[in-house]
Chains A and B, each alone.
Chain A
Amino acid sequence: MPADTGTGSTAATDSSIGTAKAAAILRDVAREPGAKKPDSILVADGIRRQFGGLIAVDVGHLEVQRGVITALIGPNGAGKTTFFNLLTGFDRPDTGSWSFNGRSLDGVAAHKVARLGMVRTFQLTKVLSKLSVIENMRLAATGQSGENFVSALLPMRWRGQERANTERADSLLARFTLDTKRADFAGSLSGGQRKLLEMARALMVEPELVMLDEPMAGVNPALKQSLLGHVKTLRDEGRTVLFVEHDMDMVRDISDWVVVMAQGEIVAEGPPADVMVNPVVIDAYLGAHHDSDISVEAEERRLAAERDAGSADDAQHEETPA
Chain B
Amino acid sequence: MNWDQIIEFSLRSAFGSEAIVYAMAAIGLNVHFGYTGLLNFGQAGFMAVGGYGIAASVTTFGLSFWVAVPIGILAAIVFALLLGAPTLRLRADYLAIVTIAAAEIIRIVVGSVSLQEYFGGRDGLQEFNDSFVAINPYDSSVNMVLFTLRPNDAWVFTVGWIMVGLACLLVWALMRSPWGRVLKSIREDEEAVRSLGKNVYSYKMQALVLGGVLGGIAGFLVALDQAAINPENFSTDVTFFAYTVLILGGAARVLGPVVGAIMFWFLISVLGNFFTQATAGDNPLISPEIMTGTQASLVRFIAAGLGLVLLVIFRPQGIFGDKREIALDAR
Contact = CB atoms under 8 A, between A and B. Distances in A.
Interface of A: 88, 90, 109-112, 114-115, 119-122, 126-131, 135-136, 138-140, 142, 144, 146-149, 151-153, 155, 158, 162, 185, 187-188, 201-202, 204-205
Contacts of A146: 177-179
A149 B207 CA distance: 10
B222 to A, nearest CB: 27
A138 B328 contact: no
A148 B331 CA distance: 33
Contacts of A151: 179
Interface of B: 170, 173-174, 177-182, 184-185, 187-189, 191-200, 206, 324-325, 328-329, 331
Most buried by B among A153, A201, A204: A153
A228 B114 CA distance: 71
B221 to A, nearest CB: 23
28 contacts: A88-B195, A90-B195, A111-B197, A111-B198, A114-B194, A119-B197, A126-B191, A126-B192, A127-B189, A128-B184, A128-B188, A130-B188, A131-B181, A135-B181, A138-B178, A139-B182, A139-B185, A139-B193, A146-B177, A146-B178, A147-B178, A147-B179, A151-B179, A152-B178, A153-B173, A153-B174, A153-B177, A204-B196
Given A129-B328, A185-B328, A148 B194 contact: no
Nearest to B324: A185
Contacts of B184: 128, 130-131
A39 to B, nearest CB: 24
Contacts of A110: 194-195
Contacts of B199: 109, 111
Contacts of A115: 197
Nearest to B331: A187
Contacts of A119: 195-197
A205 B181 contact: no
B259 to A, nearest CB: 20
B181 A138 contact: yes
Contacts of A126: 189, 191-192, 195
Nearest to A145: B178
Contacts of A205: 196-197
Given A122-B191, A149-B206, A152-B177, A185 B325 contact: yes
Nearest to B186: A128
Nearest to B188: A128
B181 A139 contact: yes
Given A127-B188, A128-B185, A129-B329, 5 more contacts: A127-B192, A128-B189, A129-B188, A138-B178, A185-B325
Contacts of B188: 127-131
A6 B58 CA distance: 69
Contacts of B200: 111
Contacts of A185: 324-325, 328
Contact of A144 (B178, B193, B206): B178
Contacts of A112: 197
Contacts of B195: 88, 90, 110-111, 114, 119-122, 126, 202
A235 B271 CA distance: 67
Most buried by A among B193, B200, B331: B193
A128 B192 contact: yes
A218 to B, nearest CB: 14
Nearest to B325: A130
A202 B195 CA distance: 8
A83 to B, nearest CB: 16
A257 B303 CA distance: 67
Nearest to B210: A149
Nearest to A85: B191
Nearest to A185: B328
